[in-house]
Amino acid sequence: MKIFIHSTDKGIWESIENGLFVPQVKKDDVLVDKPSSEQAENKKAKFDWIAKNIITSALSCDEFFRISQCSSTKEMWDILEVRHEGTTDVKRARKHALIQEYELFRMQKGESICDVQKRFSHIVNHLMSLGKKFDEEELNIKIQKCLDRTWQPKVTAISKSKDFTSMTVASQFGKLREHELEIHRLVVQESEDKHNKSIALKACKQ
């Protein structure tokens, strides 16, 4: 939703964050609503209604009634944010739980690299949405440490490559996936060779 609103107009998102904009002017040392004259200010004042339209169009009936009486988009967003992401205390507790899950992250027995990538990305993306920051090198090292020892030769080769420090997480998973596919190909080929050899021996005996 945030990405969609930003792509429509940055000013609409600012309306959600800062609240309804009402053009005002000082009159006898008192702020009063300004007559609708300046086009730029009119557009800015309209952002709140555009944002309301975008948000309410994306909600189910139950969610809509939850925020239908709100006077501004900011109020709507705050209610929805607490509803779906929890209070500050809930976010903090979730963040601590995810950090622990990240620190204990390990490749599970029989798990493919795709499965590892899916679980790892899920944890990291959730942590980043809660304000946790990572750099690529830190994540790449974490990935290497979480793999079982059968992967150590490939891990060593990747870490010694000249582009390791600038490698993205996606690139490292790509290299690991390529290696996994190659190992699978060799296993299948070896199995087929054994099968063909067995057939040839049987034919010789006959």
Averaged confidence pLDDT in the chain: 84
For the full predicted model, state whether its pTM sits above 0.75.
no
Report the length, in residues, of the chain: 206
For the segment 89-101, the average pLDDT, to the nearest whole number, is 91
- Please check the confidence at residue 130 and state whether its pLDDT lies above 80: yes
Cα 44–chain centre separation? 31
> Would you state the pLDDT for residue 88?
84
> Would you state the pLDDT for residue 198?
67
- Please check the confidence at residue 203 and state whether its pLDDT lies above 70: no
> Would you state the pLDDT for residue 91?
85
> Would you state the pLDDT for residue 190?
74
Domain coordinates of the chain in residue numbers?
2-85, 88-205
DSSP structural state of residue 35: P
Residues 1-18 have pLDDT tens digits of: 888 888 888 888 888 888
Q: Coil, strand or helix: which one is 10?
A: helix
> Would you state the pLDDT for residue 34?
60
For the segment 41-61, the average pLDDT, to the nearest whole number, is 83
For residue 24, give the H/E element and its range: strand 24-27
- Round to whole Å and give the CA distance between 173 and 151: 12
> Would you state the pLDDT for residue 123?
96
CA-based nearest residue to 124, from 150, 149, 108, 142: 142
> Would you state the pLDDT for residue 32?
58
> Would you state the pLDDT for residue 11?
84
**Residue 15 CB burial class (10 angstroms; 0-12, 13-18, ≥19):** buried
- Please check the confidence at residue 128 and state whether its pLDDT lies above 80: yes
| Residues in contact with 194: Cβ distance below 8 Å, sequence separation at least 6, in sequence order | none
Residues 56-67 have pLDDT tens digits of: 888 899 899 888
Residues 145-157 have pLDDT tens digits of: 999 989 999 999 9
**Residue 47 CB burial class (10 angstroms; 0-12, 13-18, ≥19):** buried
For the segment 136-162, the average pLDDT, to the nearest whole number, is 91
Q: Which two tokens stand for residue 54?
A: 């975008």
**Phi–psi pair at 117, nearest 5 degrees:** -60, -40
Neighbours of 75 (CB within 10 A): 15
Of the chain, the percentage scoring pLDDT greater than 90 comes to 33
